[in-house]
Amino acid sequence: MKSRTILMRHYLITVGIFVLSGTQLKAQDVTKAEPKKPEAKVSVVALGPKPTRKYRHVEGGEAPVMLLAKPGETPPPRLYYKGKPDGDKKTRWLTFNVPFNNPSVLRPIPPDKPLVLFRKIGAGDDAEYQRYVTIPAGAVNSRRIFFLTPSVTGPTPWDKPPKVRTISLDQKSLIGKQFVLKNLSRFTVLHAFGDNVVSVAPTKIISYKSVKTGELYRLAAQYGTRKKIIYNTAVRLDGNGHVQLYVLYDTNPKTNSSRSVGVFRTMIPVREKIQPPPVANP
């Protein structure tokens, strides 16, 4: 009986040491865990006129076949940059999707240094990477949207590096606002938000905030001597911090319902709470 008691005590002491050691190792692992790398978030969108549709008649076919746009008629759907994927020590070409006249998500990039984006010319081993546009450096935790617009006119306006226009979602004038309009077109636009009517010159930005988030607000815009309507709709403002963003840009009236101004629309989600970095145990 006495020997059993001694064995039981020895067993409990061994188990206790094992559990304590495991707890200490786990604590050390947490302490040694790498903190989240600082980042900035950006979105890149190309805005511009859509090319006219071209068709080719095929012998024996019932209807003409629509041809794909030629290089330069539309912006590159993907750009490339040099970087290291998570867990990879080797630098290689990574992709950066660029939607055309459509929304894009905010994606993280390293802060405090410019991001150079290249376009890919050719395919396979013969492909070349040509410098196309540079995203300026941003502060840690900043959120910015970059709009690429053609810098030249003609049948292939995207052959040349585009202009870069920026909206910083953290600028003081936009904090707490629920609706933002940026005019990147060449026209001065007359804009109505409810009963408030203002003239918005090229490159200008306006914003609104209302405590009555459940009500419908009339939203309309027109331009030119003929007062062509760009849009005429109604919106409900969000009370949870999301922002409705409208951006006006130049288009080809032949491919934009006879209008020379197009509208880009997206919803900017509320900023996530920034978590403080973990404090290492002494």
**Residue-range domain boundaries for the chain:** 37-170, 175-271
Cα-based distances in Å from 135 to 73, 164, 250: 22, 8, 22
Q: Residues for the chain: how many in total?
A: 282
Higher per-residue confidence, 48 vs 18:
48
pLDDT digits (tens, 9 = 90+) for 116-147: 999 999 888 788 999 999 999 999 999 999 99
| Cα gap 256→68, rounded to integer Å | 18
Say if strands 179-183 and 243-250 run parallel, antiparallel, or are unpaired: parallel
User: How confident is residue 236, by pLDDT bands cut at 50, 70 and 90?
Assistant: confident
Tokens 């905030």 -> residue? 209
Q: CB atoms < 10 A from the CB of 201, how many?
A: 9
DSSP structural state of residue 211:
S
Q: Residue 63's Cα: distance from chain center in Å? A: 39
- In this prediction, residues 164-171 reach a mean pLDDT of 93
| Cα gap 73→56, rounded to integer Å | 18
Q: Is 55 helix (H, G, I), strand (E, B) or coil?
A: strand
Higher per-residue confidence, 253 vs 61:
253
**Rounded-to-5 percentages of helix, strand, coil across the chain:** 15, 40, 45
| Cα gap 222→55, rounded to integer Å | 33
Q: Is 162 helix (H, G, I), strand (E, B) or coil?
A: coil
| Cα gap 37→30, rounded to integer Å | 16
User: How confident is residue 99, by pLDDT bands cut at 50, 70 and 90?
Assistant: very high
pLDDT for position 161: 96
| Cα gap 209→243, rounded to integer Å | 10
Q: Residue 173's Cα: distance from chain center in Å? A: 20
User: How confident is residue 199, by pLDDT bands cut at 50, 70 and 90?
Assistant: very high
| Cα gap 245→78, rounded to integer Å | 23
User: How confident is residue 35, by pLDDT bands cut at 50, 70 and 90?
Assistant: low
Is the Cβ–Cβ distance between 85 and 20 less than 8 Å?
A: no
pLDDT for position 20: 45
Q: Is 13 helix (H, G, I), strand (E, B) or coil?
A: helix
Which one, of 267, 271, 251, lies nearest residue 101 by Cα? 251
Q: CB atoms < 10 A from the CB of 231, how many?
A: 16
pLDDT for position 248: 98
Higher per-residue confidence, 24 vs 75:
75
Cα-based distances in Å from 88 to 38, 92, 97, 116, 257: 18, 10, 21, 20, 48
pTM, rounded to two decimals: 0.81
CATH number of 175-271: 2.60.40
Which one, of 282, 118, 264, 60, lies nearest residue 182 by Cα? 264
What is the average pLDDT value for the chain, to the nearest integer?
84
